[in-house]
Amino acid sequence: MKPRRSNTSTNLDIFLEYPITKSQLAQLLGVARSTLLTWENLAFWRIESFRKSYPAKADGSFDRESPLSPYQAWILGRIGRVMLQVRSSERVKTYIKANPSDFSKYKFLNSQQQVFVKKGA
């Protein structure tokens, strides 16, 4: 993977209000698009709710070319944070398996609700 443009880009969770392309998210996170695609691949095969967030194609497969949902962007930011800490795809896989609740849609919605309540207060 290429070095990050910013080592602090994944320190905080990302809460978007709109879908985002992988290129735009890579730029936002300060990483190369190829790095983001590596993270996306880790998430796709290990986090069912991430995979099911993609629209379905007519043949039943997932449309992985579509923009990412706010939940998917949040997941990729979290994977980036774990990657920065453990520095290995294999260790990230182990972390995801050991801590599935850290990547759950419930945790995302709960955290997002707290951010938007504070924002609106």
Q: Concatenate the DSSP letters of all residues of the chain into one string.
A: -PPPS-TTTTSS----SS-B-HHHHHHHHTS-HHHHHHHHHHHHHH-HHHHTTSPBPTTS-B-TTSPBPHHHHHHHHHHHHHHHHH--HHHHHHHHHH-GGGG-HHHHHHHHHHHHHHHH-
pLDDT tens-digit series, residues 24-62: 999 999 999 999 999 999 999 999 999 999 999 999 999
pLDDT tens-digit series, residues 2-15: 554 555 566 688 89
pTM metric for this prediction: 0.86
Which of the four pLDDT bands, split at 50, 70 and 90, describes residue 20? very high
